[in-house]
Amino acid sequence: MDASAAPLPAWNPVDPLGETLHFLHMDGAFYSRCEFAAPWGLALPRMEGCLMFHVVTSGRCWLEVDDSEPAVLEAGDLVLLPHGEGHRLVSQPGQPTRDLFALPREVQGERYERLRLDGGGAPCSMVCGAVRFEHPAARRLVRSLPAVMTVQAARSLRAEWMHSTLGLMAQEAREMRPGGEAVLTRLADILVIQAIRQWLDQAPAARTGWLGALQDRQIGRAIAAIHRDPAHPWTVASLAAVAAVSRSAFAARFTERVGMPVLQYVTQWRMHLALDWLRARQGESLAQLAARAGYQSEAAFSRAFKRINGVSPGAAQRLTGD
């Protein structure tokens, strides 16, 4: 059957950006409850592939990131470092720091610990975390975010939800009742996603590039279709039909908004998904993986996989198994 003649899936009106936010499931997360008293300083190394965040639940501290002015964080403030940048948290600018991994810690769960630094002075408490996003759409969204994002509760357009959530976090951090670890981590997840949503609502940068393309009425529909059904035999013509525009206009607009031709995007998306499927160790054969990604030929699938991911499927599977 000619791919261009393949019947199109039925698509309902969608919110492509909203669907992408749905993929923001935090995997490989680790959380810390921090109780510090001035003077204190904490150095956090770069964590590749992680989004790091800090929620100040009481007191105040300063954030120092290389090449940036120190920024004060008050109770109720939330800071995200989406690209895992190394940084310092200190009681005062210029305060000497200790390395995060050199501190004594109280392990309170498989993914939860308690850190203390007691200099005898003004107290500051925080909930901190390092999380990964495994889904390709989530990773791409996070790569689009700025290096540092600060949400100040007093100035937030969503101050009410921030105050309520932070109040619950502060209470749980103080009391640590049974189930407190689970409550804290889930509240932290909500704060991170809400902060990203707020940035998307306000930032001019969210109207450009891939994020802007998701919000384009026509291009966004095509991207959502690709994401929903990567194995469909997509062509420029069939995706133009989803977008309800002419083939030539669609092709030009897609390249302009996304930064690559549409069929290149289809291949890239499929191969990023295939890499995730391999990482999940689901035991599928190469033929099954190829079919799941929309390929009838294992050889064609393997060539595309290596071109996009830099290694063959077999090598990727071996690396994942280490």
Last residue of a domain, one of 150, 183, 205: 205
The domain of 122 spans 19-205
* Structural domain includes residue 307: yes
Rounded Cα–Cα distance for residues 192 and 162 (Å)? 11
Residues 153 and 33 in one domain: yes
Q: Say what the pTM is.
A: 0.77
Residues 192 and 110 in one domain: yes
Q: In the 3-class helix/strand/coil scheme, how is 167-190 assigned residue by residue? A: HHHHHHHHHCCCCHHHHHHHHHHH
Residues 57 and 170 in one domain: yes
322 residues of the chain, pLDDT tens digit each: 344 455 655 545 467 777 777 777 766 677 888 999 999 999 999 998 899 999 888 899 999 998 789 999 998 888 999 999 999 999 999 999 999 888 888 877 677 788 999 999 999 999 888 888 877 888 888 888 999 998 876 565 555 666 677 777 767 666 667 766 677 777 777 778 888 888 888 788 888 888 889 889 899 999 999 998 999 999 999 999 999 999 999 999 999 999 999 999 999 999 999 998 887 766 788 999 999 999 999 999 999 999 999 999 988 877 765 4
Helix, strand, coil distribution of the chain in percent, nearest 5: 50, 20, 30
Residues 24 and 139 in one domain: yes
Residues 194 and 312 in one domain: no
Q: Which stretches of the chain are DSSP H helices?
A: 16-22, 136-143, 159-175, 180-202, 209-215, 217-228, 236-243, 247-258, 262-279, 286-292, 298-309, 313-321
* pLDDT (0 to 100) of residue 203: 82
Tally of domains in the chain = 2
Residue 77: CATH number of its domain:
2.60.120.10
Paired tokens of 228: 């929903």
Q: Are 224 and 179 in contact (CB under 8 A)?
A: no
Torsion of CA 173, 174, 177, 182, to 10 degrees: 0
Look up residue 65 and give its DSSP letter.
-
Residues 34 and 177 in one domain: yes
Cβ neighbours for 100, distance < 8 A, ≥ 6 positions apart: 42, 43, 44, 45
* pLDDT (0 to 100) of residue 322: 45
